[in-house]
Chain A
Amino acid sequence: MSAVTEQSSQVKIQVKDLHKSFGSNNVLKGIDIDIREGEVVCVIGPSGSGKSTLLRCLNKLEDITSGKVVVDGFDVTDPKVDINEVRRHVGMVFQHFNLFPHMSVAENIMLAPVELKKMNKAQARERALELLERVGLKDKADARPASLSGGQKQRVAIARALAMAPGIMLFDEATSALDPEMVGEVLQVIKELAESGMTMVLVTHEMGFAREVGDRVIFMADGVVCEEGEPEQLFGNPQQERTRDFLSKVL
Chain B
Amino acid sequence: MAQGSESVEGKTYVIGTDTTFAPFEFRKDGELTGIDMDILQAIAEDQGFKVEVRSLGFSAALAALSSNQVDGVIAGMSITDERKDIYDFSEPYFESGVQMAVANKDEDVKGYEDLEGKTVVAKTGSEGESYAKSISKKYGFKVKSLDQSATMYESVKSGSAVAVFDDYPVLAYGIAQGNGLKTVTDKVPGGSYGFAVNKGENTALLAAFNDGLAELKANGEYQKILDEYLADPSAAVPSNFFDLVAKSFPALMTGLWHTLLVTAISFAIAMALGLVFGFLKISHNIVLRGIATTFVNIFRGTPLLLWAFMFYFGLPQLTGWEISVWTAGVLTLSLNAGAYVAEIVRGGIQSVDPGQLEASRSLGLGYGKSMQKVVVPQAFKMMTPSLINQLIISLKDSSLLLAIGFGELLYQGQQIYAANFRVTETLLIVGVIYFIAIMALTKLANYADRRFNK
Contacts and interface: CB of A to CB of B under 8 A. Distances in A.
Interface of A: 59, 61, 84-88, 90-92, 94, 96, 98-102, 111-112, 115-116, 157, 160-161, 163-164
A101 B356 CA distance: 9
Interface stretch (B63-71, B334-342, B374-382, B442-450): B374-382
A92 B364 CA distance: 11
A167 to B, nearest CB: 13
Contacts of B361: 61, 84, 87
- When A and B form their complex, which 10 residue pairs have the shortest distance between CB atoms, in order from nearest? A98-B359, A88-B364, A112-B363, A87-B364, A98-B355, A92-B362, A84-B364, A102-B377, A84-B366, A100-B374
B369 to A, nearest CB: 6
B366 A100 contact: no
Given A101-B378, A102-B381, A111-B373, A116 B355 contact: no
Contact of A98 (B353, B365, B366): B353
Contacts of A116: 364-365
Contact of A61 (B353, B358, B378, B381): B358
B369 A94 contact: no
B358 A84 contact: no
18 contacts: A61-B358, A61-B362, A84-B361, A87-B363, A96-B355, A100-B360, A100-B378, A101-B378, A102-B377, A102-B378, A111-B365, A111-B374, A112-B363, A112-B364, A115-B369, A115-B373, A161-B362, A163-B363
Contacts of A94: 355, 358-359
A37 to B, nearest CB: 20
A100 to B, nearest CB: 6
B382 to A, nearest CB: 11
A98 B364 contact: no
A153 to B, nearest CB: 12
Contacts of A115: 365, 369, 373
Interface of B: 353, 355-356, 358-366, 369, 373-374, 377-378, 381
A83 B356 CA distance: 18
Contacts of A100: 356, 359-360, 374, 378
Nearest to B359: A98
A98 to B, nearest CB: 4
B363 to A, nearest CB: 4
Contacts of B373: 111, 115
A88 to B, nearest CB: 4
B393 to A, nearest CB: 27
Given A100-B356, A101-B378, A87 B362 contact: yes
Contacts of B365: 84, 111-112, 115-116
Nearest to A87: B364
Nearest to A85: B364
Contacts of A98: 353, 355-356, 358-359
A111 B378 contact: no
A98 B360 CA distance: 9
Given A84-B364, A85-B364, A112-B364, 15 more contacts: A59-B362, A84-B361, A86-B364, A87-B361, A87-B364, A88-B363, A98-B355, A98-B359, A102-B378, A111-B363, A111-B373, A112-B365, A116-B364, A157-B359, A160-B363
A59 B365 CA distance: 13
Contacts of B362: 59, 61, 87, 90-92, 161
A76 to B, nearest CB: 13
Contacts of B353: 96, 98
A140 B12 CA distance: 73
A84 to B, nearest CB: 5
Nearest to A61: B358
Contacts of B364: 84-88, 112, 116, 164
A129 B296 CA distance: 47
A61 B360 CA distance: 11
Nearest to A116: B364
